[in-house]
């Protein structure tokens, strides 16, 4: 009986220790605050609006409009990191999370983008495996990468636990824009730390001189698609492909200037279906012509 009591006590103590360890592990689970990563992991499709203006009001308007992320355009705009930081901070509680297309895959650009709060690093013109491998390194803290700690507003945006959770939340998007990039697409997609491979449809047409639908153009697109899906990565493209290419799940929507223009037309047409329509022309077939 004495030995049984000792064994019972020991078993109870062991169970208590194990339960305590399990509770500690649960409390130390890494938070995922990148909702784009969560949605892609759940099999959903995500859409990001393109912002190239430094106006925080415009940023906040689109960040709260229903998009999943904001594609802050720094490759083809004069935006500075200081301006991008102000926009991100101005709408720090918006549901759309900030992604930045950096000017280039350099350590300085990627470090600054992450420090001001970007949860997605969009890398343009990926033509070599070395480029994207370096980008992944610059975007992640050790032991996964070589990102150094410094100043920035990331802690104010995501809390004191940011350093421990950053590697699980930062996403890297590799853009394939040329035939050279297509050639290395499979190797790029298989780089650990790449989350999405994006087909830059317009630039691919520019570099090849071919329109969408041309067999050679589509062969390039198919090659990137197969490589990306084969590696289990997200597959990106323009929003126009959402209804025509079901394999894609990461989309770039038009710019804010385009949205303002289309929104203005919508408001005017809602007020007067004949607004801007020449007299005697029916805006919808079968309806009475506009007076």
Dump pLDDT digits (tens) for 99-139: 999 999 999 999 999 999 999 999 999 999 999 999 999 99
- Among the options 76, 140, 214, 220, which is catalytic? 76
In a domain, 173, yes or no: yes
Q: Diameter of the chain by CA atoms?
A: 104
Q: What is the mean pLDDT of residues 191-209?
A: 97
Task: Answer whether residue 58 shows pLDDT above 60.
Answer: yes
The CATH number assigned to the domain holding 218 equals 3.20.20.60
* Residue 10 belongs to a domain: no
SS3 category, 250: strand
What is the C-alpha separation between 102 and 73, in angstroms, rounded? 7
How long a stretch of residues is the chain? 291
Stretch 17-23: mean pLDDT? 43
Residue 70's pLDDT is: 98
The per-residue pLDDT for 19 is: 46
**What DSSP assignment string belongs to 158-179?**
H-TTHHHHHHHH-EEEEEE-SH
**SS3 call for 10:** helix
Q: Note whether residue 288 is domain-resident.
A: no
* 72: in domain: yes
The pTM of the full predicted model, rounded to 2 decimals, is 0.84
Amino acid 17: pLDDT:
41
Predicted local distance difference test score (pLDDT) of residue 139: 98
The stretch 257-262 carries a mean pLDDT of 82
CA distances from 289 to 216, 276, 283 (A): 45, 13, 7
Predicted confidence band at 273 (pLDDT cuts at 50, 70, 90)? confident
Domain annotation covers residue 225 = yes
Look over the chain and give the mean of its residue pLDDT values, rounded to a whole number.
89
Residue 257 placed within a domain: yes
Tell me, yes or no, if 76 is annotated catalytic.
yes
Give 252-281 as a DSSP string. EEEEHHHHHHHHHHHHHHHH-TTTTPPTT-
Report if residue 150 sits inside a domain.
Answer: yes
Neighbours of 232 (CB within 10 A): 8
Could you give the CA distance from residue 110 to residue 170 in angstroms, rounded to a whole number?
Answer: 11
| Total of domains in the chain | 1
Domain containing residue 78? 30-271
Q: Does some domain include residue 7?
A: no
Phi (first) and psi of residue 265, to 5 degrees:
-60, -40
Q: What pLDDT score was predicted for residue 202?
A: 96
Between CA 245 and CA 249 the distance in angstroms is 9
């Amino acid at each position: 009986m004495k030995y049984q009591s000792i064994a019972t006590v020991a078993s109870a103590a062991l169970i208590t220790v194990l339960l305590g360890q399990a509770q500690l592990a649960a409390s130390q689970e890494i938070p995922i605050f990148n909702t784009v990563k969560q949605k892609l992991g759940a099999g959903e499709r995500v859409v990001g609006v393109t912002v190239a203006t430094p106006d925080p009001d415009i940023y906040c308007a689109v960040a709260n409009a229903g998009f999943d992320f904001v594609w802050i355009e720094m490759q083809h705009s004069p935006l500075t990191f200081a301006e991008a930081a102000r926009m991100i901070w101005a709408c720090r509680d918006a549901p759309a999370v900030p992604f930045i297309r950096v000017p280039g895959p350099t350590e300085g650009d990627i470090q600054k983008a992450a420090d001001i709060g970007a949860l997605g690093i969009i890398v343009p013109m990926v033509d070599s495996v070395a480029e994207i491998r370096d980008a992944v390194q610059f975007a992640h803290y050790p032991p996964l990468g070589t990102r150094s700690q410094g100043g920035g507003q990331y802690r104010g945006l995501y809390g004191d636990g940011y350093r421990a959770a950053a590697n699980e939340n930062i996403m890297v998007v590799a853009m394939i824009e040329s035939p050279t990039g297509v050639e290395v697409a499979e190797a790029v997609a298989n780089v650990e730390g790449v989350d999405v491979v994006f087909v830059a449809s317009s630039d691919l047409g520019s570099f090849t001189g071919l329109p969408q639908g041309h067999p050679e153009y589509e062969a390039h697109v198919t090659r990137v698609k197969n490589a990306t899906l084969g590696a289990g990565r997200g597959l990106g493209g323009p929003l126009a492909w959402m209804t025509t290419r079901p394999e894609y799940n990461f989309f770039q929507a038009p710019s804010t200037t385009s949205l303002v223009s289309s929104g203005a037309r919508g408001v005017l047409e809602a007020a007067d279906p004949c607004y801007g329509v020449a007299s005697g022309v029916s805006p919808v077939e079968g309806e009475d012509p506009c007076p």
